[in-house]
Amino acid sequence: MNTSQKSGLYIHIPFCRSKCPYCAFYSLASRSLILPWLNNIKNEIAYYKDQFECFDTLYLGGGTPTFLDAWTLEILMKHIFNNFRFAPDTEITIESNPCDLNREKVNVLKDLGFNRISLGVQSFNDQDLSFLGRRHTAKDAETALALLRSCGFKNLSMDLIYGFEGQSIKEWAKTLNHALSFQPEHLSCYQLTFEKRTIFEKLKDKGLIKPLSEKEECAFFSATSQFLENHDYIHYEISSFARGKAYYSRHNNKYWHHIPYLGLGPSAHSFQESSRWWNVGSVRKYCALLEGGRAAIEDYENLTGDQLRLESISLGSRTKEGFDFKEIPPDHKSMEMIMRLQTSGVIRIKNNRVIPTKKGFLVADHLANCFF
Amino acid sequence: MQNTRNFSIIAHIDHGKSTLADRLIQKTGLVEERKFRNQLLDNMDIERERGITIKSQAITLPYISNDNQKFEFNLIDTPGHVDFSYEVSRALASCEGALLLIDAAQGVEAQTVANLYAAMEHNLEIIPVINKIDLLSADIDRVKRQIEVDLGLDAEQTILCSAKEGTGIDDVLEAITKHIPPPEGSADKPLSALIFDAHYDSFRGTVVSCRLFSGKISPGDTIRLMSNGATYKVEEVGIFRLAKTSKDSLSAGEVGYIIAGIKTVSDIRVGDTVTLDSNPVTNPLPGFKEIKPVVFSSIYPVSSEDYQSLSDALEKYKLNDAALIFQKDSSAALGMGFRCGFLGLLHLEIVQERLEREFGQSIIMTAPTVQYHFMLTNGSKVTIDNPTYYPDPVTIEKGMEPYIRASIFAPERYMGTIIDLCTERRGVNSRFNCPTPGRLEIQFDIPLAEVIYDFYDRLKTVTQGYGSFDYDFLDYRESDLVKMDILLNGEKVDPLSQIAHRDRARPRALNACERLKEEIPRHLFKIAIQGAIGGTIIARSTVSPFRKDVTAKCYGGDITRKRKLLEKQKKGKKRMKTIGSVTIPQSAFVAVLKAENK
């Protein structure tokens, strides 16, 4: 466990202008509960005030954090900074929607201390954007990116979605090329997943959207990795690419390496000293609990050594660093499995670590299972 | 004794035996309507589910006839499957009469005939009963003709009933009083009682079911079992009502139970004669034989740490099933286990199901096999029921395998398909018999090994459910026997090995490879499945590796869910066997035995 490292702070902003049909994160398409939510985030901050020593990342996610107006954002940020301690070089990220960004808003973000913007571009093809239920056009994203650069943001990340029916690898490469023209420091390229309780899942079940075949998915994945590596991006996690180590998402790394993090807001998850707990996934319940002077926790778990190991392998398999040899049982069976997985090109061994290959990334969810 | 009637109901499977038994019990008022549970005599879950009776049971019913005489009926239920034909014969030997039950729509079937012959061997008075007359497809005239012509019985005597609707039941009861003779034998003579069943009671030990032919037995008597001379002191005797009802004594002609501190069912031999130690009969009752297993298979715990628990479960199971035999066995792939002998494939399935259901065991069973004889070049003869011990092929002079006489009843339009099936299963020496127009009895000499797999399922398929089947043992015949092995990524999986006739080895290997391909989940690497005789590969298939399962996102909220999924898979894996690096589900071991896809 990484207790020596500084913690991460996550704030969940469960509001959006409209719900995207593929998204499973908890969010409401309405402003009506923003004020009570804000008041109770304050309560929650007070609740955890002294439980975490020092943070070196702050991440506003959602939902759509930029859906909040400047005034609300300012109150929120002030409250956070007044109550928690942060390292001087803290990575401060906000997830943004291209529609929400104008020069005024971007300047506010700058003033509030954000030094990393994660922009939900998804695609530079308007047809794709309408399929994905996005409200903005490719042009909107271009404008936003230019604006962010001109206002001095030096760490930009874009979210892109790929691998859906009707999209060719060639078309996808066009979006990637377009994205690269803005020289983003970071890219999150998500293969479209049919998440539970989303509109896309329903459409899939009705046969109205067809998922790609396993073979097609593999081809898309490999092409993406290849393309971005050719353009000097490091493929450091299943869906994450960075233009150099300095631009790895420091915050997300905490999730993948058992570094403590505190999540505030409805449905947010926290982890500290081998326990994990999570908040209720409803703004109303969240507010009611906090107004009643209680934490908004829905449930928690204390992880056993075995569970931590299982997670280390499963999470490690998703990253370029892989996982420590020590995490797997030191028996004959494991050795035999290692040999077999090595021969079939799924993993390689380096410096006492099991490193997934690109082929291994594709089966990361299964890798941990091989050793238990 | 003049008013005692001992009888069985004999029928082909599904002709409604248990339903009729239930009706008789209900009509005689032994059980109140509201307490009535269907198929009272079949009191094991498996029996109720499969609709067959596995063990013999007896029940004593009070009956007052139309002319106001008090009767005592002893209904002795018989197992309804060929695997248990010896138990059937002992149960029939305990009766003076039998109700021969025939489905009004199905007519005479293989087991109808087999059971009738068995009943006639014991000189039982037969009352034909046509059941299910309420069915739209009922053809009473046709069945009556079959009774006259096929069975040579008097169709005039036939009683019509619908056990389901409760019609005709009174006629059945009256016929029992009129046509079945009362038992003979004197209570003053030395005790002679036939054991037709035994079951285990965790409080009382073994409860022995028997029919007294002469003499009398009371608590305090010392009994002797004539097959092995063992003696026991009688604690209790009685009759079966719905539960055991103790009595002061049992006398000649009666059917009841004995409890005598007998520890396990295995101490009792069905067919044995019970007599008094102080005043024994000179000769035991005829027909006793030791029952021998004919089908063999190994049982392994899915998780090797459960070996002890499986061992305990088998010991406990054996308390109630003398027919199961087992001894320690071990396999390179599956570790420690047990080699078991069964009366037949149904018996095997019952043991498997009960071990899993009642004893909570997770087990793997290997391919069932018969007992082979091998004459070796050095002049010796070995008997083998486990492919592991197949002799070195160069030392084999000749192999021999057991043959049975299969009797198949079916409408004549299926003649072609039945002959094809039997010939494919190496059946020889076919004979035909046309008992009634449109119906056919076909007999074949077939190797037992060909029947224990899936013969019955296949027969049902090719005859669209109309074919029925029964068999008797014939003899051992010379056969070109080879051992077929299965290899996974080059590693031999010994529990999947089979002994087979050379001509059948390749189709069987192909089938096994295909089945395994369906059952073994995709791994992260390619899995080669091969069938081989010695060093020669005769069949192969491949499980291609799976290539993608990763989810795009894994952040704070996803980790717990992901781990729980892994833990679930991990738990699932506990029910699988890992051989080399290949994980094989339990179902794969069973699947290789299933019918070849046609």
User: Hey, are the CB atoms on B525 and A343 less than 8 Å from each other?
Assistant: yes
For B378-428, the DSSP string reads: TS-EEEESSGGGPPPGGGEEEEEEEEEEEEEEEEGGGHHHHHHHHHHTT-E
Place of tokens 């019985």: B153
| pLDDT score recorded for residue B54 | 45
| B295-365 and B482-591 have identical folds | yes
Cα–Cα distances in angstroms (integers) from residue B197 to residues B57, B78, B285, in the given order: 7, 10, 15
From B134-148, B251-265, B312-326, B580-594, the region with the lowest mean pLDDT: B580-594
Please count the residues of chain B.
Answer: 598
Alpha-carbon Rg for chain A in angstroms: 21
In CATH terms, the fold of domain B482-591 is: Alpha-Beta Plaits (3.30.70)
Residue A256 has pLDDT above 90, yes or no: yes
Residue B140 near chain A (CB below 8 Å): no
Cα–Cα distances in angstroms (integers) from residue A139 to residues A95, A136, A144, A145, B152, in the given order: 19, 8, 9, 10, 95
Place of tokens 């398909």: B417
DSSP SS3 for A353: strand
**A211 and A320 part of one domain:** no
Please say whether the beta carbons of B98 and B127 come within 8 A: yes
* A263 falls within a domain: no
Residue A268 structure tokens? 């947010």
CATH number of the domain where residue A172 is located = 3.20.20.70
| pLDDT score recorded for residue B242 | 72
Region B570-597 average pLDDT: 77
| pLDDT score recorded for residue B167 | 92
- Top residue of A277, A312, A343, A366 to mutate, by most chain B CBs within 10 Å, is A366
Please say whether the beta carbons of B395 and B378 come within 8 A: yes
Q: Which residues of B touch A343 (CB under 8 A)?
A: 525
Q: Which residues of A touch B556 (CB under 8 A)?
A: 10, 255, 261, 263, 268-271
Q: Which domain range does residue A336 map to? A: 306-371
Residues A320-364 pLDDT 10s: 999 998 899 888 888 888 998 999 999 999 999 999 999 999 999
- Other CB atoms within 10 Å distance of the CB of residue A136: 19
* A261 falls within a domain: no
CATH number of the domain where residue A351 is located = 1.10.10
User: Hey, are the CB atoms on B551 and A193 less than 8 Å from each other?
Assistant: yes
Residue B145 structure tokens? 């003709």
Q: Where is B471: in which H helix or E strand?
A: strand B468-479
Nearest chain A residue to B555, by CA:
A255
Q: Which residues of B touch A268 (CB under 8 A)?
A: 556-557
Q: What is the pTM of this model?
A: 0.69
Assess whether the previous peptide bond of B427 is cis (omega < 30° from 0): no
- Other CB atoms within 10 Å distance of the CB of residue A338: 18
In CATH terms, the fold of domain B372-479 is: Alpha-Beta Plaits (3.30.70)
CATH placement of domain B295-365: 3.30.70.870
User: Hey, are the CB atoms on A269 and B559 less than 8 Å from each other?
Assistant: yes
Give chain A's count of helices (H) and strands (E). 14, 15
Residue B549 near chain A (CB below 8 Å): yes
DSSP SS3 for A165: coil
Q: What percent of chain B has pLDDT over 70?
A: 93
Region A151-170 average pLDDT: 96
d(CA B227, CA B268): 9
Total count of domains within chain A: 2
Q: Which residues of A touch B560 (CB under 8 A)?
A: 269, 276, 278, 301
**A182 and A95 part of one domain:** yes
Please say whether the beta carbons of A57 and A88 come within 8 A: no
User: Hey, are the CB atoms on B552 and A364 less than 8 Å from each other?
Assistant: no
* A298 falls within a domain: no
Question: Quick one: which of B545, B441, B533 has its CA closest to B489?
Answer: B545
pLDDT level of residue B464 (50, 70, 90 thresholds): confident
d(CA B40, CA B55): 13
* A276 falls within a domain: no
Nearest chain A residue to B546, by CA:
A363
Residues A210-247 pLDDT 10s: 999 999 999 999 999 999 999 999 999 999 999 999 99
**A173 and A100 part of one domain:** yes
pLDDT level of residue B120 (50, 70, 90 thresholds): confident
d(CA A69, CA A75): 10
| pLDDT score recorded for residue B32 | 56
- By Cβ distance, the residue of A307, A343, A363 closest to B563 is A307
**A57 and A175 part of one domain:** yes
* A25 falls within a domain: yes
**A38 and A149 part of one domain:** yes
* A349 falls within a domain: yes
User: Hey, are the CB atoms on A255 and B578 less than 8 Å from each other?
Assistant: no
pLDDT averaged over every residue in chain A: 94
Residue B559 near chain A (CB below 8 Å): yes
Please count the residues of chain A.
Answer: 372
d(CA A215, CA B547): 8
**A314 and A209 part of one domain:** no
**A346 and A208 part of one domain:** no
Query: What residue spans of B139-228 are helical by DSSP H?
Result: 140-149, 169-179
Beta strands B468-479 and B439-447 are unpaired
* A289 falls within a domain: no
Q: What percent of chain B has pLDDT over 90?
A: 50
In total, the C-beta contacts within 8 angstroms joining chain A to chain B are: 110
Architecture of domain B4-179: 3-Layer(aba) Sandwich (3.40)
Query: Domain coordinates of chain B in residue numbers?
Result: 4-179, 192-276, 295-365, 372-479, 482-591
* A299 falls within a domain: no
User: Hey, are the CB atoms on A365 and B549 less than 8 Å from each other?
Assistant: yes
Residue A358 structure tokens? 């690109």
* In CATH, B192-276 is 3.40.1160.10: no
Amino acid at A167: Q
**A342 and A242 part of one domain:** no
**A342 and A218 part of one domain:** no
